[in-house]
Structures are given as structure tokens and as C-alpha cells.
Structure 1
Amino acid sequence: MSEFTIVNEYPRPRPVVWQALTDPALVPLWTSTGQGGRPEGFEPVAGTRFRFVGKPVPGWDGIVRCEVLTADRPALLRFTWRNKETDTPSLVTCRLDETATGTRLTYQHTGFRGIEGFVMSRLLARVRRTMLSKGLPTLLDDLDDQGRLRPGSRLRPQP
């Protein structure tokens, strides 16, 4: 099995980082630095089935099928991930820990199987590193202490 882990620290409080990770209107603002992806039907509530919808490419319909397994605000979000309806799900875990200067996000994606899974884990790891090192910090810089976009922000939330 293949997996990857990305750890980044952000100079923002945990509730603000949580908001950026879980607000369906904000998620596309940081995922757009990769292949994009807007959550449809997402709520940070265990049992919620949702989809990430991105731009289709050859061999992929642009839809990731997910189900929230754990949502412990503002510390832990865990959900399944399937690129195709017939895939065995892999698992995404986002753990938020307070630090002296803000929040440490540990993003882990596990459970990739076979050669196709190995290739997918490498591709997703590269895309996620960009999203979490460029897209998410840009969004966090534009959020106020309640996790809302500041007046005058050039970022536009998605409906």
C-alpha cells in the first residue's frame, strides 16, 4: 500500500484553519492551486456523503466520491476517497494541532493499492503539497479571526 503525509504550520488559530478546510464556499479557493475541486453536499458531520467535483481529464470523470467518517471540530477530519465508484476507498485524515505560533496541519492520505494506487498517491501528493503550501496560506491570509473573507479580499467564495 502507498500513502503520503504532509505537515505544514500556519500562523492562524485552529478554528480559522478548520473553517478554511471545511467551509464548502472556501475550499475551492485553496484547492484551485491544484486541479481544483469544489465539495458538493459536504458537511463536517460523520456519515455525510459528498463529492469533490473538479475538471475532468482523460481517464478521470472529475469526481471524487467521499464519506465523512470523523469530524471533531476543530481538531480532526477523516473521510474516504474514491476516484471511481468501483474503487476501494482510500482514507484522508486532517489533524489540526495548536502550536505556540498557530496551527499545525497534518494531512495524511493512506490506503492506495496496487500500481495504479502507487501512481495516484504520487500524483495526489504533488498536487496536495502545492495546495497546502500555496493555496491554503493565501486563503488564510485573507480570512478574519472568525474564518470569513476580509472586506476587500480578491478571493471570491463559490456558491
Structure 2
Amino acid sequence: MSEYRIVQDYPHPIEQVWAVLTEPELMGRWTTTGKGGRPEGFVLAPGTRFRFVAEKTPVWRGIVDCEILEVQAPRLLRYTWVGDEGDAPTFVTYTLEPTPAGTRFTWAHTGFTGVGGFFMSRLLGRVRRRMLAVGVPATLAYARSPRGGLG
């Protein structure tokens, strides 16, 4: 099985990082950094089915179907990820930990199988690194602005 993990530190309190990662109106701001999608139907409750909707491409339908498996706000979110209809789900886990300088965020995406899964995990890992290094900090800055409302 293939997987990838990304650890990123942010100089913001855990509650602010959690809000950027889980509030639908903010989620779309950082996920689109890497050409990801906007959430539809996202609610922080186990059993909730939601999807990320992005631009369709010649090789992808532009939709990721997900189901929330576990929520322990503001420290843990776990959900399934199905990029193509009929595929077996993979699993995304957000883990947040307070640090003296702010918050450490770990994104783990596990459960990829076969050669195709190996290549998909590498591709998604590159995209996520950009989202977490560029998109999340920009969204944290926006959210802390008077327009963003997290003050």
C-alpha cells in the first residue's frame, strides 16, 4: 500500500487552523490553490457524505466523493476519498497539535493500492504540499483579516 504524509507548522492557534481546514467557506480558498475543489454538503458529523467539486479534465470527472468517519474538534478529522466512481476508498486524516509557536498540522492520505495507487499518491502528495504551504497560510491571513472574520 502507498500513502503520503505532510507535516506543516502554522504560527496560529489550533482553533484558527481548524476553522480554516473545516469551515466550507474557507476550505474552498485553500483547496483551489492546488486546483482542488470546493466542498459541497460538508458538515462536521460522522456519516456525512460530501464531495469536493473541481474542474473536469479529460482524464478525471472533477468530483471526489467523501464520507466523514471521525471528528474530534479541533484535533482530528478523518474521511474517505473516492476520486473515480467505483474505486475503493482511500482515507484522509487531519491531525492538529498545539505547539509553543502555534499549530502542527499533519495530513495523511492512506490506502492506495497497486501501481496506479502508487502514482496517484505521488501526484496528490505534490498537489497537497502546495495547498498546505501556500493555500492554507494565505487563507489563515485572509481569515484573520476584517473580511475573513476570525479576527
In the alignment, is residue 128 of structure 1 matched against residue 123 of structure 2?
Answer: no
> Mapping of 1:73-152 within 5 angstroms?
73-144=73-144, 150-151=145-146
Shift of 1:95: 0.1
Q: Which runs of 4+ in 1 moved over 4 A?
A: none
Aligned length: 148
Shift of 1:142: 2.1
Partner residue, 1:29:
29
Unaligned runs of 5+ in 1: 145-149, 154-159
CA RMSD of aligned residues (A): 1.0
CA distance in 1, matches of 2:119, 2:58: 15
In the alignment, is residue 68 of structure 1 matched against residue 68 of structure 2?
Answer: yes
Shift of 1:36: 2.5
Identity across aligned pairs (percent)? 53
Partner residue, 2:12:
12
Alignment TM-score, normalising by the size of structure 2: 0.95
Partner residue, 2:51:
51
Unaligned runs of 5+ in 2: none
Amino acid at match of 2:14: R
Amino acid at match of 1:125: G
Alignment TM-score, normalising by the size of structure 1: 0.90
More helix by share: 2
Task: Describe the SS at the equivalent of 1:57.
Answer: coil
Shift of 1:12: 0.5
Shift of 1:133: 0.3
